[in-house]
Amino acid sequence: MAGRGGFGGGMMPQPGIILLREGTDTSQGKGQLISNIGACQVIADAVRTTLGPRGMDKLIIDQRGQATISNDGATIVSLLDIVHPAARTLVDIAKSQDAEVGDGTTSVVLLAAEMMRQCKPFIEDNVHPQIIIRAFRTATSLALEKIKEMAVGIPKDDKERLRQLLEKCAATTLSSKLVARQKDFFSKLVVDAVLLLDDLLPLKMIGIKKVQGGALEDSVLVAGVAFKKSFSYAGFEMQPKSYEAPKIALLNVELELKKEKENAEVRIDNVKEYQAIVDAEWEILYDKLRKIEASGAKIVLSKLPIGDVATQWFADRDIFCAGRVAEDDLDRTAKACGGQVQTSVNNLSDNVLGTCEHFQEKQVGGERYNFFNGCPKAKTCTILLRGGAEQFIEETQRSLHDAIMIVRRAIKNDSVVAGGGAIEMALSKYLRDHSRTVSGKQQLIIAAYAKALEIIPRQLCDNAGFDATNILNKLRQRHAAGPCWYGVDIRSEDISDNYESAVWEPSIVKINALTAAAEASCMILSVDETVTAEKSQIAGAQAQMGGHPGMMRGRGRPM
């Protein structure tokens, strides 16, 4: 019996092997997986109520006190200060969905979270995550093939029908936004804007300018470039405000007298020498102005300031000028009017000057705007948004961005599917039927994937105050009778053929959403251990103050 309590029997004690720094936190196994799934559910709950035409808006106030009102999923999750690494995956897929297709950001978060929620019982029953991942990938591949098979092509040869279809796609997107009441007005405006572009449909050639005041219906589409007149010195009132076919000089040159530095020193012997220095400064400026006039340019735009002397000089010669023009506005004008931005006035020949059919400066609300119409080189347009509160105009801009992206994708990918939960119910029924032909655990997991797709019509019903169970039972019955486009009808609190009701979405939206949601789910399910290094005391203190390591001052977040 001797030696049992000690190191008897000649055995030496085994030293503990330390691999990680002291204070490092590790968590692994089933508990870690379930914790990650729970974190993703919290993100989904934050955006769940924003889905659909009857979705609610969120008011988010950041650390600087700036308020944002939005029901756009990508905007909401990006404004939330999420630190959980698994939950950040859902933020990333919402942002990628927004960048790729512009809409469906809330849907992709809900789908990913619901897929993980449906597979949670399997994790708890010790089903290996790789079996679930394999089944999810199989189900996603089948669903994408089914979407492509069901999608209805867009006829590009019939211009009138194409336009109507694009307007319906834009209206479907806008119906869930803050501007849903004006969706008919804005859907026409958005389609007009996109059709004004060239074949590549560059997003940068659509400018959106916000002007406070007036009603939303006062918003206008300008077939050309428009931007707010920048700061002007005295004398600009005397400049002409309208030109026909003018030459346009685009400069990155400062046209004002340079102020001497405080420590500058000039030694002179008499007053005449001082006068010569002053005259030389003026002569440098006037030489620049004479060269601009000699080029024949009637409109001068500069990224840098144009001073009061230059403004008055141009006004005396019937030349319009604007300084401190924003870089993106100047670049868009250069692309549209055909000019090149010059850093010197020495070689202002016709091949570097732009032109347009008509230029006009006029009042819009409380601001002066410069309009360039009939731009020859590139097809471009500008949307002038009107409205009351600043937050309302900001949300309108985000809504129009989503609608523009959807119309561009519809033109590029030329196929649509019915929205309102119709395509999700069709896919759910198809995958449920397919699961019965598969044996083993895969059957149960594919059936769970099919059930997860029903989160979209279910949430649409919940957000509208409908009886979701009753509506879903009707939809299952209708889809079981054969292929159809039946989905949730928000207006009648029932189901309807959403393709006939013109609730259309580009098929690429659903393809991208399903792919991203499945990828995110599989990635989170494949993580079985999280290793978190201990934060240093300095980094921890700065993090509490809202700063980052290396910053000496925090952003004032409460301790």
Q: Which uninterrupted H or E stretch holds 247?
A: strand 247-251
Q: Determine the Cα–Cα distance for residues 520 and 281; give it in Å rounded to an integer.
A: 64
| Residue 173, C-beta contacts closer than 8 angstroms, at least 6 positions apart | 102, 103, 399, 402, 403, 406, 505
Count the helix, strand and coil residues of the chain and give each as a percent rounded to the nearest 5: 50, 15, 35
Q: Which one of the listed residues 98, 103, 402, 414 is annotated catalytic?
A: 402
Amino acid identity at 244: E
104 and 97 in contact (C-beta within 8 Å)?
Answer: yes
Q: Would you state the structure tokens that stand for residue 100, as one six-digit string? A: 């790729």
Tell me the three state secondary structure of residue 361: strand
Kindly list the distances between the CA atom of residue 206 and the CA atoms of 213, 222, 250, 292, 338, in Å, as whole numbers in the listed order.
Answer: 22, 10, 20, 30, 17
Q: Is 167 exposed, middle or buried (0-12, 13-18, 19+ CB in 10 A)?
A: buried
Q: Which one of the listed residues 68, 72, 140, 396 is annotated catalytic?
A: 72
Q: Count CB atoms within 10 A of the CB of residue 501.
A: 18
Q: Which uninterrupted H or E stretch holds 519?
A: helix 507-525
Q: Which one of the listed residues 50, 75, 89, 105 is annotated catalytic?
A: 105
Whether 106 is a known active-site residue: answer: yes
Whether 308 is a known active-site residue: answer: no
Q: Which one of the listed residues 68, 75, 106, 172 is annotated catalytic?
A: 106
Q: Would you name the residues annotated as active-site residues?
A: 72, 105-106, 402
